[in-house]
Amino acid sequence: MNGGQEAWERGDESVEHPHFVDDRVDLEAAARGDSAAFDVLYERHVAVVYRHAYSLLGSKREAEEIAQDVFVTLWSKIATVRIVDRSLLPWLLTTSRYLCLNRRRALARHHARTHVDGLVALPPDPMSVEDRVRNRVLREAIDDALAQLSDEDYTVYLLCIEEGLTYQEASLQMGVSHGAVRNRLSRLRAALRVALGPAREGR
């Protein structure tokens, strides 16, 4: 490993990794109407956006629709989109999360309405009412805690915790140093432990 690589992994922001993703040029070109530049952004990030949507919705069809909706939203707002550092991914994932939560609420309302109307017979549920309540409380606490994260912290959470990427892999996708990802993940893990403490104690 050379000195520049070592400095980059320590988190020296003055050292740029040669394989950093940098969306700024393509985003600026797409904002000027360059459809090829927009296609580059789409191909670069759509797989991560899809996996994120699938992790929240558990449906391939819904995840595909959300991924498409994210990029439709990007195209419609592209003149006003601003990114931190080099990567568009935090903006895309925050938009995906907002759309997924809206879709999840809509699906829950449809599910409840269908059962109330007697159109679907509910299968027996092996989980007790108490356990269902606890699980719902914890899920809501997780949703609330994640909603408080910055776009960049949420991206680190998704890439490193949900997808299991290494610091180096996440740093290359986000266009920041290895050390920056490591430090950000350490801080957000501590914050999530505090935020989820009461919900976990109730389990």
This model's pTM is above 0.85? no
CA–CA distance, 94 with 70 (Å, rounded to integer): 10
CA distance 25 to 118: 54
Cβ–Cβ contacts within 10 Å for residue 92, how many?
28
Q: Which amino acid is at 129?
A: V
| Helix or strand (DSSP H, E) at 159 | none
Write out the CATH class of domain 15-201. Answer: mainly alpha
3-state SS, 28-61, equals HHHHCCCHHHHHHHHHHHHHHHHHHHHHHHCCHH
Task: Check if the beta carbon of residue 165 is closer than 8 Å to that of residue 159.
Answer: yes
pLDDT tens, the chain, 203 aa long: 454 445 434 444 444 454 567 899 999 999 999 999 999 999 999 999 999 999 889 999 999 999 999 999 999 999 999 887 789 999 999 999 999 988 887 766 645 454 444 444 445 556 565 666 666 777 777 778 888 888 889 899 888 888 888 888 888 888 888 889 999 999 988 888 887 776 655 55
pLDDT, averaged across the chain: 80
Q: Where are the domains of the chain?
A: 15-201
